[in-house]
A and B are shown apart, each in its own frame.
Chain A
Amino acid sequence: MYTVADLKKGLKITLDGDPYLVIAFDFTKPGKGQALYRTKMRNMINGTILDRTYRSGETFEPASLEDRKMQYLYREDDHFVFMDNQNYEQYRMGSEAVGDSANYLIDNLPVDVLLFRDKAIGVDLPNFVNLKVIETLPWVKGDTSGSDSKPATVETGYVLRVPPFIEEGETIVIDTRTGEYSTRVKG
């Protein structure tokens, strides 16, 4: 059982029997009023978006999903293919269900695939993934401000802001929860 204090982006709960993924969440309090928890959720079966406002004290059932350790194999047109580490069974998932996670999927990445009635409907990534920078502007030496940033493209095609000292060919660590640069991989 979850309470409103557990609500956060990425939480999966059951609503009217269906699994829902929390895609946006905010705590709010209208002038001197009570605490409210505004939640945007996506139905993990049919993709419907739902807005709900909760009060303190409300509770939720976790989504009844099966978590399987798999690895990402390859992309086939509009589908992503994963393989179960235990029985080598392959599962296909549409790009809509994969969502932004596609930004971090490189071959053989270990992930948790979520099954609902034996159908792959979502993917849980490690919090941090290492990706190689394939395109970025060179570092202008002498820029010591340290506060600037520049765009960089990583091997999955994902573009993000990185510090100016990051060079092409370097591997960086990305926080998959925020999509932001975290640190560089030394060596």
Chain B
Amino acid sequence: MSANWTLARRRPALEARARIIQAARQHFIQEGFLEVETPLRIPAPAPESHIDAIPSDGWFLHTSPELCMKRLLAAGYERIFQFCHCWRASERGNRHLPEFTMLEWYRANADYDDLMTDCENLLTAVAAACGDRSATIMVQGKEVRLDLPWQRLTVREAFARFSGVTMEEALAADRFDEVMVEAIEPMLGIGQPTFLCDYPAERGALARLKPDDPSVAERFELYIGGIELANGFSELTDAREQAQRFEQEERYRRSQGRTPYPEASKFLEELPAMPPSAGIALGVDRLVMVLIGAKSIDEVVAFTPEEL
């Protein structure tokens, strides 16, 4: 008799999870990427307004391997990927775990368009490894076809199409996130995956602004079946501008009474050596959710924090 029936019943999901991770790793190796590992505990996370790192013995558990990965780019490693656990304080919901698995990859001499192509190739390869020959997946009861052309929609277009307000109006009224969650996100990645592109400049602390429209950043999020899967952007390589944006974000964080972060000084020192690059973070747990049709992130991990 099984001692922990709930855990035993997760076997099909955990087996699919292992196949997905193995297929993704294989895909990056074939594409000539180097798999790297960077420390999970770091002295200075990148300050971001709405992401909080968990303190760990004077340092912090990383919220993403971003800064270390970029130092590798700056040192000449041109194509790198990493699977790792990341921690974000107080994030818990149907699609959030405070400790989750991230897949990040970076390309030198590339921009966010190249990353979108990477996403298409990666997901097609991984879905095939799941035994899904039709390339059709069911997400929250809706059909999504990976073999149709993936939709590219700007944030501005999405506001115009799915909500009663423009992007600028929503920002001015401090309603951007609410409109996104209530009106826009549920409409994205239905029928085929959607890249939601060109976020307002202030919503991409580490992203390059679009040369022909500096009101937006070259940043996108990948959505499938209304679920946000990945966030990618053309990297900001201007060290002075990056330092200014960090200061601005850190000032906001401190005004909200959050734990102060030291300056990420080594990253800022080495950033000028980084070639024009693009990088992306993909939530592995959510990828598994989408591919096996799970309703909650709890179904795709061996243990949730509540089960420990």
Closest Cβ of chain B to A9, distance in Å, is: 12
Determine chain B's interface SS by DSSP, over half rule.
mixed
State A147–B11 Cα separation when bound (angstroms).
7
Which of B90-98, B107-115, B146-154, B260-268 contacts the other chain? B90-98
Whether the Cβ atoms of A29 and B96 lie closer than 8 Å is yes
Cβ of A35 < 8 Å from any Cβ of B? Answer: yes
Known contacts A34-B49, A147-B9: A27-B180 contact under CB 8 Å = no
CA distance A53 to B176 in the complex (A): 13
Counting CB contacts under 8 A, is B30 at the interface? Answer: no
**Quick check: is A85 within 8 A (CB to CB) of the other chain?**
no
Contact A28 B95 (CB under 8 A): yes
Chain A residue total in the interface (Cβ 8 A): 21
Asked if A117 lies at the interface with its beta carbon under 8 angstroms from chain B, I say no
Determine if B228 and A30 form an interchain contact, defined as CB atoms under 8 angstroms apart.
yes
- In the assembled complex, A94 has its CB within 8 A of some CB on chain B: no
Please name 8 pairs of A and B residues whose Cβ atoms are closer than 8 Å in the assembled complex, sorted by A.
A26-B95, A27-B96, A28-B96, A29-B50, A31-B180, A34-B50, A35-B90, A53-B178
A residues 27-66 touching B (CB-CB < 8 Å): 27-36, 38, 51, 53
B81 within 8 A of partner (CB): no
Task: Check A35–B8 contact: CB distance below 8 A.
Answer: no
Whether the Cβ atoms of A27 and B92 lie closer than 8 Å is: yes
A127 within 8 A of B: no
Cβ–Cβ < 8 Å partners of B51 in chain A = 32
Chain A residues contacting B176 (CB-CB under 8 Å) are 33
Q: In the complex where A146-B2, A147-B2, A165-B1 touch, is A34 in contact with B91 (Cβ < 8 A)? A: no
> Which residue of the partner chain B has the closest CB to A25?
B93
The interface residues of chain B lying within 8 Å CB-to-CB of A145 are 8
Chain B min CB distance to A90 (Å): 39
Which residues of B approach A to under 8 Å, CB–CB?
Answer: 1-2, 5, 8-9, 11-12, 48-51, 90-96, 176-178, 180-182, 185, 196, 199, 203-205, 221, 228, 231
Residue of A nearest to B230 (CB): A31
Contact B199 A31 (CB under 8 A): yes
* B185: nearest chain-A partner, CB-CB: A30
* A29–B49 CA distance with the chains assembled, in angstroms: 12
Shortest Cβ-Cβ A-B pairs, 5 listed? A27-B93, A146-B2, A33-B177, A30-B180, A147-B8
What does DSSP make chain A's interface, helix, strand, loop or mixed? loop
CB-CB < 8 A to A146: which residues of B? 1-2, 5, 8
Interface: A3 (CB within 8 A):
no
- Cβ distance A178 to chain B, nearest Cβ, rounded Å: 10
Counting CB contacts under 8 A, is A163 at the interface? yes
Chain A CB count within 10 A is highest, among B11, B94, B204, for: B94
How far apart sit A177 and B221, CA to CA, in the bound complex (Å)? Answer: 35
CB atoms of B91 and A29 under 8 A apart? yes
Measured between beta carbons, the chain A residues less than 8 angstroms from B196 are 31
Residues of A within 8 A of B92 (CB): 27
Q: Are B204 and A32 in contact (CB under 8 A)?
A: yes
Is residue A108 contacting chain B, with contact meaning CB distance below 8 A?
Answer: no
* Cα distance, A14 to B216, chains bound together (Å): 41
Tell me, in angstroms, the Cα distance from A32 to B177 when the chains sit together.
9
Q: How far is the CB of B219 from chain A (nearest CB, A)?
A: 8
Query: What are the residues of chain A within 8 A of B180 when measuring CB–CB?
Result: 30-31, 33
Tell me, rounded to whole Å, the shortest Cβ–Cβ distance linking A84 to chain B.
35
Q: Using known A-B contacts A35-B50, A35-B91, determine if residue A30 contacts B5 with beta carbons closer than 8 Å.
A: no
Find out whether the CB atom of A32 lies under 8 angstroms from the CB atom of B48: yes
Identify 6 new A-B residue pairs, CB closer than 8 A, beyond the known A27-B96, A30-B177, A31-B180: A27-B94, A32-B51, A32-B204, A53-B182, A145-B8, A181-B5
**Cβ–Cβ contact B2 & A32, under 8 A:** no
A31 to B177, CA, bound (A): 9
Look across to chain B and name the residue whose beta carbon is closest to the beta carbon of A35. B50
Q: How many angstroms from the CA of A27 to the CA of B298 in the assembled complex?
A: 14
Bound CA span A20–B29, Å: 53
| Minimum CB distance partner of A54 in chain B | B178
